Amino acid sequence: MTKHRLIATLLVNNGNVVQTRKFKRTNMVGSAFTAVDFFNGWTVDEIVVLEISNSLSFTSRFIDIVHNLSRRCFVPLTVGGKIVDLEIVRIYTRAGADKVVINTGAVQNPNLITEVAENFGSQCAVVSIDGMRNPAMQSGYEVYIDNGRKPTGLDLLTWARKATELGAGELMVNSVEFDGDKRGYDLDLVRQVSGAVNVPVIAMGGVGRWQDLVDGIKQGNADAVSAGNIFHYTEHSTKKAKEFMADAGVSVRYSAFYKINMPRRPAYEPYLHHNSNL
């Protein structure tokens, strides 16, 4: 039986984890380092870190964050943000990323997907697709880029198929309208993409309760489910989420490591404090 992954997504702006709603930053949560420390002990299968600042390019500070996160991360680390060419992918992987997420850069230069797949393997090339409802599109959804701000005129299903043909090993699917709205995934969107491609699909955006994770798999037919905001304020959040999923009949991974009682620590510490000791 296929094991479905539970993925924690961290959105990083100027070195700090932030919460978003409809792709607009709402409030700062804290340190990415402390979040990863907790997720390590809370049975998460993968961690995605996305740099979403308004900067036009990646920063050396974010590269430093990726490097130090990889040193303490016990699960696959996927990194995205400002990827416009293969050299940035090399920088991220050298810093410790196992996979990279390409969004705007893939739409602007579709051949980048193929370059990543050929140089690092298709498993490294994760294409993130942000969509918004548009009845003028064949699928009913239009692809948006630049952190959900810019419409592209691309039909979402057409782009999803093309991305996989070019070498994408996975697709992350997010709804701009559902992001941070706590009403669950856009199941119609997830279901359409899952049925249109032959690579794993990760549902993202809108989780407000554990049942939404189950629905993403059972109703959306996603291979994996991801969330961010809901995990930040609940003790043992991802562990509780996975237990709920298992009780609902979803096949998930377990490990004896996760039975270790992790020590309680302050929820978050300033990034510079951590960085000065690494």
Q: In terms of Cα–Cα distance, which of 149, 202, 186 is closest to 25?
A: 149
Please identify which of the residues 37, 45, 98, 130 carries the catalytic annotation: 130
Torsion of the alpha carbons at 129, 78, 260 and 223, rounded to the nearest 10: 40
Q: In terms of Cα–Cα distance, which of 114, 132, 128 is closest to 52?
A: 128
Catalytic residue flag (residue 130) = yes
CA-to-CA distance for 17 and 206, rounded, in angstroms?
A: 17
Q: Cite the active site residues.
A: 130
